[in-house]
Amino acid sequence: MTDWSAMVSPTALLQPIRSVRAAPVDQDALVDRLRLTAVSLGYALLAAPALALGILTILAIPLGLVAVGFAIAAGVVPATAALTSLHRRVSGGLLGEPIAAAYADTTGLNVVTRPMTWLTDRARWRDVGFLWFSATGGLLMSILPVGLLASPVTHVVVAGLGGFHWWLLLLLDVPLLVVWWWATPALVRARARVERRLLGRDRVEQLERRVEEVTTSRAETLDHSAAEVRRIERDLHDGAQARIASVGMNVGLAEKLMATDPDAAAGLLREARESTATALEDLRSVVRGIHPPALADRGLAGGIEALALPMPLAVTVRVEAPPLPPPVESAAYFAVAECLANTVKHAGATRAWVRVRHDGEVLHLVVGDDGRGGADPHGSGLTGVARRLAAFDGTMVVDSPAGGPTVVTMEVPCPTSPS
């Protein structure tokens, strides 16, 4: 039995279009076409505000010379953005992918400079084009499914009142229902695709944005690599190198004292042996900072478990991921390590958790704790994590309200080859 109340919920109405094929003819397909017809009706109703906003936008441009246009634009542009945001949500839901806006930033601009920015913003002009599409071709595309279904339904109701000629109309309505069944999914999806084209980022903007992201990521990665080299040099200079130099000096002194003062020479050799052990530990520490042995020997799961063991709080670890490329595993390992270190230093938590899974395309990492919250995503630690992940097109989202809990969600694109 069909749950009609669930079908009219916003979530159900905006489910992705499954197919535009006419077959199969069953209850699920009927419900789906009724849903898409309802969406088409909503599209058609929104043509009225789109037309009004389109007219006001055209009027605001010449009237800007006498300042009246600035007042009109101050109301029309935000209203247009709200309307297009609604359409992005609807069309994005029907296509199963988000449609992101790409407006120029107007934060901090005054009432004069903000309209000037709007005038040079390509995304705003695409909004204007969308308004006229919604009021013309988009309206036609959306009214057709509604009309094809409404006409036969209206004739059925009127035919019940009697009259031979109405039954003739009912016979003619059969082809209308066939066309409605066949055309509705295609029309709705076609409109959603046009809106994605108009309201989303165009190809040139996407490429420009991608080039900017790659350039920034490359520069940050180079800076990070240079900083890592300097850190390794500093650690070697201040640690292992100094101790090895001390060993050489002690051995040299012991060699000179061997004949005259054997006891002092033996003491120097013992000290040299202890310095050698300490130098080896320093070298191991440096190596762990470059590529931890646990990660190299046991993979990402073993590496994260090794991270959790010495923590002064309970850490639950669950890793469901196949072997991944070493650079990705290393980035994920150090990202988790930094998040856990922040938990120990700042969160005041009693427990933490790490969840890692791979869905075949993306590596998902979640690190959370029950601490006091208030983590700053722009702090040096989390900024370093974001920078490290950005080198792999990864993202990081920090959810840390005051009072906790803190949840850091990270994603790294990493498709695996089918076995």
155 and 169 both lie in a single domain? yes
301 Cβ contact partners less than 8 Å away, ≥ 6 residues apart: 317, 319, 321, 356
Residue 419, in any domain of the structure: no
The rounded distance, in Å, linking the Cα atoms of 15 and 397 is: 25
63 and 114 both lie in a single domain? yes
CATH code of 213's domain: 1.20.5
Residue 418, in any domain of the structure: no
Domain that holds residue 385: 293-413
Residue 340 burial (10 A CB sphere; 0-12, 13-18, 19+) = buried
Assess contact for 243 and 275: CB atoms under 8 A: yes
236 and 375 both lie in a single domain? no
The rounded distance, in Å, linking the Cα atoms of 297 and 82 is: 53
> What does 64-133 look like in DSSP terms, one character per residue?
GGGTHHHHHHHHHHHHHHHHHHHHHHHHHHHHTS-----PPP-TT--TTHHHHHHHT-HHHHHHHHHHHH
Of the residues 199, 221, 236, the one at which a domain ends: 199
- Output the six-digit token pair for 364: 């998902």
First vs last Cα of the chain: how many Å apart?
41
226 and 355 both lie in a single domain? no
Of the residues 241, 275, 290, the one at which a domain ends: 290
Of the residues 183, 199, 215, the one at which a domain ends: 199
pLDDT value, residue 1 = 47
Q: What is the count of structural domains for the chain? A: 3
Each residue's pLDDT expressed in tens, for the chain with a length of 419 residues: 455 454 556 677 888 887 888 778 888 888 889 999 999 999 999 999 999 999 999 999 888 778 788 889 889 999 999 999 999 999 999 998 888 888 888 888 887 788 888 888 888 999 999 999 999 999 999 999 999 888 877 766 666 555 556 666 667 777 888 899 999 999 999 999 999 989 987 666 666 666 666 666 566 555 555 666 666 666 666 666 666 777 777 777 777 777 777 777 777 777 777 777 776 776 666 555 555 667 777 888 888 888 888 888 888 999 888 888 888 888 888 888 888 888 888 888 888 999 999 988 889 999 999 888 888 887 777 887 887 788 788 888 888 888 878 899 999 888 875 54
Helices 122-135, 137-159: axis angle to 10 degrees equals: 30
50 and 190 both lie in a single domain? yes
Assess contact for 120 and 104: CB atoms under 8 A: yes
The rounded distance, in Å, linking the Cα atoms of 63 and 19 is: 47
pLDDT value, residue 80 = 95
Count other Cβ atoms within 10 Å, centred on residue 305: 15
Task: Please tell me the pTM assigned to this model.
Answer: 0.55
Q: How many residues does the chain have?
A: 419
Of 386, 385, 393, 388, the closest CA to residue 412 belongs to 393
315 and 395 both lie in a single domain? yes
